[in-house]
Structure 1
């Protein structure tokens, strides 16, 4: 299908921006206004997405549905889609573990072509070009590749098994996001003893060290409400593989100390470290 109609579920900052890129190769891109916040509505409007009043209408009109939501909601959202009788292509692009991706595919049933997806990188705005990793049946992943061809969302197919893209996403997130937590702890400890600048100077003499980017701690704090659940998902995968999950559980618990500064773009490094130091 050359010009499919695309529906995006829960158009957050990543989901809405990814869906907007798909508009280049789609007939239209829909989102459901029912139950969504004013922030979601404003975001969708700015990106040129077409509002529909109900989930049923979105699913009836859509050939492809993109699911990008907080990890905890992924299965409930898929269950709602299944209950409405959707039979198109479902791009499960949430930061969930591989077992959950497989469960969602089973839940949606054989009439739905499920593609497992994992986004690595920032939302595709202001020149950012994230990569959408894909796994699933070759015919289905090819349709997703075509949907994003020539856009700021790059695609790469990993294989034919649902779960591979989710595994890659969480393997990367395990290091990248836990490392940001370790930076906050290291600089927080050094600051307590008045040697934080020396620590940063040491790190700046090395290449590619997160320790040389203390300004990112405030961004980590503002994103903690999303990163924590992702690390819990990754911890579940480690445990299933016989590897110790405790470090990622601990990192998620650390991130929870920042839950009260959700998406706070004005947070400073000092504010973030002060909140981290509270019991």
Structure 2
């Protein structure tokens, strides 16, 4: 079985390692990708097809793990290249976006499975799960049985796996954006020490959780902007207020300057970035 992976980023490399562990020959396309992506692909044993077109023509299955803003363009490129196999979209997109991706690849002759990944990209067995929905979900799940990313089939139509991802990530990443913002507000108003002291009394885990909200997410914040925007769209599609995740997207946008920095910022440094007004 030859599987094309678009693309072996941090989470994509965990997916790629899972596909390789299951015995698949896994291709990636180096065109337009950076040195870090190439290093990850080499480390986990992927074969470079060079171009998207070559990957499409050689693959029976394609798994898309891309930033949310790129998910539709990846699907369009695969469809335009004439792919007619099984397309698994494992991106953090709204249910409506997942259904649109499905329509794009199906019009080109492919079959479609909706996917949503929950968990960290650390390649530890069982740490992350890929939820799958749609008529071919069980077939897609077999590709992931070796782990470390574990498959979970939802007995539900296309859109369900993405909805679950949006519900989970909307709380998880939305809450962490809120915590970082709360610390920034407290620092701006000179009450950070008092807030931490109160938390230690009434919510003892909150000081450490607020530190982790910055430490664990600042250098990845650029990836979360699009996901929070997709969360806002998911809320809108369900008739819910969108402001929670529009604000979270802006929090992560302001922290995105920490991409590729050698160390994460302190809470005080992150607060300074958050408190800057756009254009200032």
Equivalence for 2:56 = 59
SS in 2 for 1:214: helix
Structure 1 residues 65 and 147, CA gap change in structure 2 (3 angstroms): same
The 3 A distance-change label for structure 1 pair 184 and 48 is same
Instruction: Call closer, same or farther: CA 1:265–1:214 in 2, change over 3 Å.
Output: farther
Tell me how far apart the structure 2 counterparts of residues 52 and 22 of structure 1 sit (CA, whole Å): 16
Paired residues in the alignment total 274
Find the aligned partners of 1:219 and 1:86 in 2 and give their Cα distance: 37
Q: Deviation at 1:258?
A: 1.4
Pair 174,27 (structure 1): closer, same or farther in 2 beyond 3 Å: closer
Please list, as runs of the form range in 1=range in 2, the aligned pairs for 1:109-148 lying within 5 A after superposition.
Answer: 109=106, 111-126=109-124, 129-137=127-135, 140-148=136-144
Going from structure 1 to structure 2, the CA distance change for 1:227 and 1:164 (only over 3 Å counts) comes to same
TM-score of the aligned structures, taking structure 1 as reference length: 0.91
Residues 27, 158 of structure 1: alpha-carbon distance in 2 compared, 3 angstrom cutoff? closer
> Which residue number corresponds to residue 2 of structure 2?
5
In the TM superposition, residue 260 of structure 1 has moved relative to its aligned partner by: 1.5
Per mean C-alpha deviation after superposition, the further-off stretch among 202-211 and 264-273 is 202-211
Q: 1:184 aligns with which of 180, 185, 201?
A: 180
Let me know the Cα RMSD of the aligned residues.
2.0
Q: Is structure 2 residue 275 aligned with structure 1 residue 277?
A: yes
Match of 1:268 in 2: 265
Match of 1:165 in 2: 161
Give the 5 Å matches for 1:178-257: 178-204=174-200, 209=205, 211-216=207-212, 217-257=214-254
CA, structure 1 residues 168+207, in 2 after alignment: closer, same or farther (shift >3 Å)? farther
Match of 1:152 among 148, 154, 164: 148
The 8 Å contact of residues 92 and 116 in structure 1, kept in 2 or not, is answered as yes
Residues 215 and 128 (structure 1), Cα distance of their counterparts in 2 relative to 1, 3 Å cut: farther
Counterpart Cα distance in 1 of 2:261 and 2:132: 31
Q: Gapped runs of 5+ residues in structure 1?
A: none
Deviation at 1:210, TM superposition (A): 5.0
Q: Contact 2:132 / 2:161 at 8 angstroms: preserved in 1?
A: yes
For 1:202-222, what per-residue CA distance to the aligned partner results, in whole angstroms no more than 9, with x for missing partners? 435667955532332133222
Taking structure 1 as reference, are residues 127 and 24 closer, same or farther at Cα in structure 2, changes over 3 Å only?
A: closer
Structure 1: distance between partners of 2:63 and 2:183: 39
Residues 128 and 157 of structure 1: CA distance in aligned 2, closer, same or farther (over 3 Å): closer
Segments of structure 2 that go 5 or more residues without pairing to the other structure are: none
Q: Distance in 1 between matches of 2:256 and 2:208?
A: 25
- Of 146-155 and 191-200, the range deviating more from structure 2: 191-200
Structure 2: how far apart are the matches of 1:255 and 1:27? 36
Quickly say closer, same or farther: Cα 1:113–1:241, change in 2 above 3 A: same
Indicate conservation of the 8 Å contact 1:18/1:124, yes or no. Answer: no
Q: Which residue in 2 is equivalent to 1:88?
A: 85
CA distance in 2, matches of 1:175, 1:208: 20
In 2, Cα distance between the equivalents of 1:26 and 1:150? 9
